Amino acid sequence: MPVPCGRPPRPPRPTWQHGGVTPATHSSLFPAVPDSADAVLEGLDPEQRAVATALHGPVCVLAGAGTGKTRAITHRIAYGVRAGILQPTTVLAVTFTNRAAGEMRGRLRQLGATGVQARTFHAAALRQLQYFWPKAVGGALPRIVDRKVQVVAEAAASCGIRLDRGELRDVTAEIEWAKVTQTVPADYAPAAAKAGREAPRDPAEVARVYDVYEELKRDRGLIDFEDVLLLTVGILQDRPDIAREVRAQYQHFVVDEYQDVSPLQQRLLELWLGDRENICVVGDASQTIYSFTGATPDYLLDFRTRHPGATVVKLVRDYRSTPQVVRLANGLLTQATGRAADHRLELVSQRPSGPEPRWAEYPDEPSEAEGAARAIRELIDAGVPASEIAVLFRTNAQSETYEQALADAGVPYQLRGAERFFERQEVRRAVHQLRAAARFGGNDALLGDAEDLPGQVRAVLSGQGWSPAPPAGSGAAREKWESLAALVHLAEGFAAARPQAVLAELVAELDERAAAQHAPTVQGVTLASLHSAKGLEWDAVFLVGVAEGMMPITYARTDEQVEEERRLLYVGVTRARERLHLSWALSRTPGGRPNRRPSRFLDGLRPGSGSAAAARGGPGGAGGVEYGTAGTGGADGSWAAARAERAAPRRTRRTVARCKVCGRTLTDAGEMKLMRCEDCPSEMDEGVYERLRSWREVQARRSGQPAFCVFTDKTLMAIAETVPEDPVELARIPGVGMRKLDRYGADVLAICAGQDRAEED
């Protein structure tokens, strides 16, 4: 074919089958804007491509960590827009953070899909509320309260309830939880009990504060963040005309991180949709770590029940982490229980082999921090950028030890999702009180009975909220106690090193530490809690404090709470691309009793802990596509039976997939399709296989798509090994979904019967 304009021909674009898959994550460079709709699909793997081309009807994407979920859904939107199937102004993509929404908008622009709205739930609802409020209610939209905590404090005072700073934060969080779960004040106490929540005060008191808080807002013409969603839901429910207007504007919806939706957000989504089903959701139940805020994975897990015709695509190809990291991540979930565990995904790394995870046990927490700092220093000296290293811990109170250890090792660091230790309000107040006590010395009544320096510190901080035993439950009160306890332990260590030291010297030491950590923020090693690390990734990750009492945390008592702690550790492991370090300490302080043990979650995974316990939930789900029950095609009984079997929900527990030749457990998705190891002898009918390949080439040319979109090589091999004789047998082969059964089933069975459909075409 002549080349237009005399330009040299472009080299063929690399395909997924020939190494052209671009990274699903960790890419700081944006590619050139694709020059066509088809170009948008280039570089996607088969499952990502299935997501991108499933533009109609309900779609559920179950996406494991590092499998390119954002890539898949942004390419889906861009492909639909560039192909003229979706009008950009009718698409609304919602997620949970401004960062995620901004990333989605940026990717869509780079793909040539401008005009698509990508917002958080609250931002999208607020725009609608501002626009429709004058029409629905009249006047201007009430002002959003600037400091919710202050109004809650006034409500508590009106009730005669005295709350300290920690309790105030926790009561505010309880009110937020009640509102996103659509719980009114009168129902708070039974709802909290049913949900297994540990209220910071008597539930009846929390309910009273909640009730008065709502009254104060109404009297002052204020609304809060949760009201934005509640009021939008109310208007859409009460005003059918406004609901119709919104639905006329937005006709296609995409929801990211769907495992984190609350009942209120789900209700808003249902009102946006109406009776339509043009929705695509993406999530991973194994990354549900925010249930304390009202998030629930139930809507993700029940999506197929609510939408029987849904297409379900499972993304399990992990482009982020090495096989060694992925193996550990999969192992963590092997012993999980509960609904999320029953739907876990078995990740398959697509990266070259890397170093094995490193395990370290230390006598105490300062030694653990120093060991991590030394290892980080070695990595930086070996050329790993400090910005590509993270230290992840369970609670923010753990940060101070690592801040100091990194500072001592000359390693720059930055805190994410937490205040610097010495900038926390309770720490600043405590240091102020210690300074005052040091100034008054023997004249301070608090110090009268204290026998040594640690005793003096404990005496002073007991007035600030420190006690020998931690408070029950989680939240701000626990975080405050952890901060004060860290000061007590620091004093104990200081006194052990300098037995003659007095309180004034300890205060001077605290001032020096605080000054050293007030340096300008630098691009250094990230210190972050596991919760704040969600959605991020680094080349090297240090998971510290992986011991009983911290992971799972002591106040995780129910089975559901313990399983969420396991998922939190899973999120931490899957943040690592290449290097993963896990460590724990046998005691908190130097010379303390070594009564700690490694986290139960590591049993069977770390060296010397025995073999892994048997998987309770069976092997994780393999990647692939499952189509809904609304199939089309002939009315022959065998075809109907095949569709029914393929569409029937599998209620029985999955069993471990084993090689049909040698019996080895299979984890690779391709081997699971064949039901045998790649190296085991094959009983494949070579003639059938070659005829299927020839036929596939014809179908690919006819449809203008790559051959693997018809059937992958592994599926053709599985067919040639089975040589099915009827639709039911064909439907049982992995990779043969209902759509392909309807479209290609007759041809495939004819080829298996000896006919050559490629020549007939």
To the question of whether residue 68 is assigned a binding role by annotation, the answer is yes
Residues with Cβ within 8 Å of residue 697, at least 6 apart in sequence? 707, 758
Residue whose C-alpha is closest to residue 111's, from 87, 80, 75, 85: 75
Question: Using CA of residue 306, residue 308, residue 313, residue 314, what is the dihedral sign?
Answer: positive
CA angle at residue 235 from 233 to 240, to 5 degrees?
110
Q: Which residue has the tokens 């990194």?
A: 406
- What is the spatial distance between Cα 116 and Cα 503, in angstroms, rounded to a whole number? 61
Q: Is 282 helix (H, G, I), strand (E, B) or coil?
A: strand
Q: How far is CA 501 from CA 427, 437, 443, in A?
A: 21, 15, 18
DSSP annotation string for 23-74: PSS---SPPPPPSSHHHHHTT--HHHHHHHH--SS-EEEEE-TTS-HHHHHH
What would the DSSP string read from start to end of 703-723? HTS-GGGT--HHHHHHHHHH-
- 208: its two tokens: 């009273």
Q: 633: buried, middle or exposed (CB in 10 Å: 19+, 13-18, 0-12)?
A: middle
Whether residue 66 is annotated as binding a ligand: the answer is yes
At 4 the pLDDT is 43
What is the C-alpha separation between 345 and 622, in angstroms, rounded? 7
Q: Reduce the DSSP state of residue 616 to 3 states and report it.
A: coil
Residue 326's nearest CA partner among 565, 698, 636, 67 is 67
Q: What angle do CA 273, 277, 283 make, to 5 degrees?
A: 90
Annotated binding-site residue? 70: yes
Beta strands per DSSP E along 586-656: 624-626
Coil, strand, or helix at residue 392? strand
Torsion angles phi and psi, residue 543, rounded to 5: -95, 110
* Segments in 517-636 forming alpha helices (H): 559-573
How far the first Cα of the chain sits from its last, in Å, is 24
Residues 428, 646: Cα–Cα separation, whole Å: 63
- Do the Cβ atoms of 467 and 440 come closer than 8 Å? no
pLDDT recorded at residue 426: 86
What does the alpha-carbon distance between residue 533 and residue 529 come to, in Å, rounded to a whole number?
Answer: 6
pLDDT at 653: 36
Joined tokens for residue 65: 């960590």
- The pLDDT value recorded for residue 418 is 53
Strand partners, 360: 583
Burial class (CB in 10 A: 0-12, 13-18, 19+), 650: exposed
Closest CA to 109 of 30, 52, 43: 30
CB 462 within 8 A of CB 450: no
Q: Which two tokens stand for residue 542?
A: 């240090």
CA 343 to chain centre: 15
The SS3 of residue 391 is strand
Q: Answer for the pair 685, 721: CB distance below 8 angstroms, yes or no.
A: yes
List per-block mean pLDDT (blocks of 10 residues) for the chain, which spans 761 residues: 43 42 46 82 91 91 93 94 92 88 85 90 94 91 89 93 86 92 92 86 92 94 92 94 94 94 93 92 92 88 89 94 95 88 89 95 95 96 93 90 89 73 83 87 66 88 84 69 83 85 88 57 78 92 95 87 94 96 93 90 85 44 65 48 55 50 62 70 82 88 78 87 86 79 86 70 42
- Report the candidate in 757, 750, 745, 754 with the shortest Cα–Cα distance to residue 702: 757
Both tokens of 476, joined, read 């701000």
3-state secondary structure (DSSP) of residue 307: coil
The pair phi, psi for residue 443, each rounded to 5°, is: -85, -5
For 172, the enclosing helix (H) or strand (E) is helix 165-180
What CA–CA distance (Å, rounded) separates 570 from 326? Answer: 10
Distance CA 546, CA 568 (A): 11
- Residue 69 is assigned to a ligand binding site: yes
State the Cα–Cα distance between residues 667 and 664, nearest whole angstrom: 10
64 is in an annotated binding site: yes
pTM: 0.69
Spatial separation of the C-alpha atoms in residues 154 and 244, rounded to whole Å: 40
